[in-house]
A and B are shown apart, each in its own frame.
Chain A
Amino acid sequence: MATAVTTPATLTGSFTREAFAAHLERVKHLPAWWLDRKRAAYERFAAAPMPKRTNEGWRFSNLSTLTLDGFNAAPAACRFDQLAHRELGVTGAGHLVFANNRLVASQALDASTAGQGIIFDTLQNALLRHADLVQTHLLAQPSRLGSDKFAALHEAFLEDGAFIYVPKGVTAELPVGVFHYACGAGAAVFPHTLVIAGENARVTVADFFRSEKAAEAHFACGGNDLYAGHGSQVTYIAMQDWSRATLSFQFNATVARRDARVLSLNLHAGARQARHESFSQLSAPGAHSEMLALTVAHGTQEFDQRTLQIHQAPHTSSNLLYKNALLDQAKTIFSGLIVVDPDAQKTDAYQSNRNLMLSDEAEASSLPGLEIQANDVRCTHGATSARIDREQEFYLESRGIRAAQAQELLVFGFFEEVLGKIEHRELHDTLTDIIRTKFREN
């Protein structure tokens, strides 16, 4: 249509109408309802303006470096052996490896786990074989935290991702790993992980985001949906380690039903500018969401984290702990909001942002917010920014520990409060290792 084609190029950047048509061509075998949704999403993306200075959802963010130009909307396939792949570190765990939006390697679940009816497959396969489940839960939550344009872009260009379904009463003993790689300069990737836990089911999923080469610039626009059915327990861990030149967006939507417990832990280390939006909906009594994040910000990196905890039902609880360690000229933004709907009495919500300032030029902004419309609640939030406690440092040094080592010990003490929430021992060690390496690299 003539009117639609006139969308200014600046609004779509590299993600032109032609690029979208080419993308649709690649996924044309997928169900029609999904393609229709993608078309609608593209229109929303193309029509929406870029974020503006006056937009509260982007307060403190650097908008001048947000760009959709210069990326490759259809990066070429890349071979598994090109990747310096690091395993999950959990013996026998199943995994899926995606590179430039395509599956390049996988290990199926062991027979005993698979036998219980757990589905661990690509999103494309799930769209074809489990359409009902996917249709109900895939990107079912609207974007609420300011990135509607980029969330629409994600939906429009989402090519493939991981699908995990654990049926009623089943426990997936081992965690599953999902790896998303971006390769080649300018590659645009749209990773997605959909986790559905049936009644009383239990599952742990680890999502990794990496670049093939450290120097290449990528555009990453990913998302995940976590749906925790009645009484289920979902643990989701994401490790964002894109190249330092990457522009990254990530959207999380968590829905916790009656007595469900969701723990999501996001580790942020990579990207030039990374925005992470996390949304938890506590929709029935007894639901609990644990929202954790750990950021190591180096150089001139900017990490922009926006969260929303919505308590819709009585007797729900949520606990948010976002910890940032800031070095060099790095910048972090934490903007969180707890919303307690009218009648969601007996809500217990907590929100905490701790910034550890390790450099004189780093900058941390905190916007911890509350919107409470019920009176019988316990809602608190706290935000602090400070350097390492000098007394602790002094104590360690007085015991003969060198200054640099003392600092590392204290920084890891700061991290451990978050990392310690991972119950799976091997997974905990893998992540601690990655963070340690990351921290020492600089």
Chain B
Amino acid sequence: MKPPSEIESAPTENPVAGIDQTKGDFKYDVSYAFDAGKGLNEDTVRYISSVKKEEPWLLDFRLKALKTFLDKPMPTHWATKDLENIDFDKIRYYLSQGQKPKRTWDEVPDDIKKTFERLGIPEQERKFLAGVEAQFDSEAAYSNIKDIVAKQGVIFCNSTEGLREHPEIFRKFFGKVIPTADNKFSALNSAVFSGGSFIYVPKGVKVAQPLQAYFRINAENFGQFERTLIIADEGAEVVYMEGCTAPKFSTSTLHSAVVELVALKGAKIQYITVQNWANNVFNLVTKRGVAHEDAEIKWIDCNIGSRLTMKYPGVVLKGERARGEVLSIALANDGQHQDTGAKMIHAANNTTSNIIAKSISVGQGRSTYRGVVHIPKHLKGCKNNTECDALLINTNSRTDTYPAISVRGDKNATQHEASVSKVSEDMIFYMQSRGLTEAQAMSLAVNGFINDLAREFPMEYSVELKRLIDLEMEGSVG
């Protein structure tokens, strides 16, 4: 065992993607070439559509969505009243560097490179990062599809490009998994979306390395509205990773993405998110996938940042034997509310779903699990397992659990279990007796609590996650 002094001096520098809030706490002056101004109306939407040189059907789609957004009430009859603090008139809905997505590193402007540098991505890593789609504000600033991926016939680009160059695939699936009117924020996204990824993996292709995208907000009062669409054709397999960090600003920022996944027969999609927005960001995201026959969709979702996150990744199990899984980790510190969960909609026989959610509330932080499991009539052989565990660190930490499970018929089985606990005093005492400080012991215990799930993450993410938790746990005891 290492002496405690060594553990204490463990480097806090983050060698990987640096999703570390203290490092995200900076801002560069960026001259925005296109800017839709603040506030939202039809002109904003028309402006975005014209800048992006979109076809008329898409403008219509956006305008209709805007109407839906304005018509829909805030869902505060079940969600937190904090939503009322979003001032939609003070938000910029679109701005862009006015550049085309770059394919090589050399073409990326210097100031943006500087930002990446502060994010802590080492030079070596940058060159190596396969198929990175790094989104700088609304437009992708950097897009590099590794040769091998392209050779396999995989399309990996930003959604604007996807719309322009692959309309035949894009249009077929776009807005089908998450209809515009699904909720107020999916409607908002449909009206003003820009950026995000478009991925198409052809039949039988197994993408060997994960496709990654880093997102970043760098403007005050600026909301990001990515639209991501991933299609895995029959028998294809793909892993997508999304990580984000944002600078800290005083006024609220809104992030409202829509992510749609389609896994056709026998396909597998794994979508990994590490969310670490600054503590003033409203992160209201709609994520859903459709799994066809024998397909598998797995969401790995980790929420550490933001002021309020509302995100319930879902899987519609549309084909026989489809499988859906959500693994979720949430950490809520002072002033944060992580309202996360999962939705599993069974729509075919012998479909199975699994939800494992772990949350940690620190200080006055509040974490909420909200879930839906739905097994409609005349299905058979459907199974769901849900486990929610909450860990409360301080005496005034808060956690809520609101699952909704609806089952028809006698040929299906569901089970749900939730528990709430604190870190065991015996465990802390034991570790302290071995020379660890209370804070170190607490950090270790919390990491132990999520260890099962953290192991499911790709290595660099799980390393990062541990560092983030250490950081969040600083000052939570004593």
Contact = CB atoms under 8 A, between A and B. Distances in A.
Interface of A: 54-56, 59-60, 342-343, 345, 355, 357-387
Interface stretch (B311-319, B332-340, B399-407, B443-451): B399-407
Interface in B195-211: none
Nearest to A363: B408
A360 B379 CA distance: 9
Contact of A378 (B77, B417, B418, B421): B421
Contact of B419 (A376, A379, A384): A379
Contacts of B115: none
Nearest to B384: A385
Contact of A372 (B399, B412, B414): B399
B401 A375 contact: no
B77 A55 contact: yes
Interface stretch (B117-125, B387-395, B452-460): B387-395
A367 B371 CA distance: 9
Contact of A376 (B407, B409, B422): B422
Given A382-B417, A385-B413, A375 B405 contact: no
B329 to A, nearest CB: 18
Contact of B414 (A370, A375, A378, A386): A386
A38 B410 CA distance: 46
A357 B411 CA distance: 8
A363 B377 contact: yes
A363 B406 contact: yes
B377 A383 contact: no
Contact of B403 (A342, A357, A368, A386): A368
A177 to B, nearest CB: 36
B415 A382 contact: yes
Interface string B364-400: 0000000000000110000000000010111111111
A384 B392 CA distance: 25
B77 A376 contact: no
A373 B398 contact: yes
Nearest to A345: B395
B418 A381 contact: yes
A361 B403 contact: no
A343 B397 CA distance: 11
Contacts of B86: none
Interface of B: 77-78, 377-378, 390, 392-422
Contact of B420 (A360, A366, A379, A382): A379
B404 A365 contact: yes
Contacts of A345: 395
A114 B77 CA distance: 51
B403 A367 contact: yes
Nearest to A375: B392
B399 A370 contact: yes
Nearest to B398: A373
A367 B402 contact: yes
A44 B414 CA distance: 40
Contacts of A54: 77
Given A362-B410, A381-B401, A381-B417, 18 more contacts: A345-B395, A355-B407, A360-B377, A360-B410, A361-B408, A364-B408, A368-B403, A372-B390, A372-B400, A372-B420, A375-B395, A377-B420, A377-B422, A378-B420, A378-B421, A384-B416, A385-B414, A387-B413
Contacts of A387: 410-411, 413
Given A55-B77, A370-B401, A386 B418 contact: no
Contacts of A379: 419-420
Nearest to A56: B78
Contacts of A375: 392-397, 422
A381 B397 CA distance: 19
A376 B77 CA distance: 30
B346 to A, nearest CB: 12
B416 A380 contact: no
Question: Which of A55, A56, A372, A384 has the largest count of B CB atoms less than 10 A from its CB?
Answer: A372
A343 to B, nearest CB: 8
A116 B160 CA distance: 84
Contacts of B398: 371-373
A441 B377 CA distance: 26
Contacts of B401: 368-370, 381
A372 B359 CA distance: 13
Contact of A358 (B404, B410, B420): B410
B343 to A, nearest CB: 14
Contacts of A342: 395-396
A130 B399 CA distance: 44
A369 B377 CA distance: 25
Given A54-B77, A361-B377, A366 B400 contact: no
Nearest to A385: B407
A360 B418 contact: no
Contacts of A384: 413-416
B400 A383 contact: no
Contacts of A386: 412-415
A238 to B, nearest CB: 26
A370 B418 CA distance: 9
A364 B411 CA distance: 13
Nearest to A359: B410
A380 to B, nearest CB: 4
A168 to B, nearest CB: 36
4 closest Cβ pairs, A-B complex: A375-B392, A357-B410, A387-B410, A370-B401
A385 B417 contact: no
B362 to A, nearest CB: 10
Nearest to B394: A375
Contact of A366 (B394, B396, B397, B405): B405
Contacts of A378: 419-421
Nearest to B419: A380
Nearest to A334: B405
B441 to A, nearest CB: 16
A171 B396 CA distance: 41
Nearest to B425: A376
B463 to A, nearest CB: 28
Contacts of B416: 366, 368, 381-384
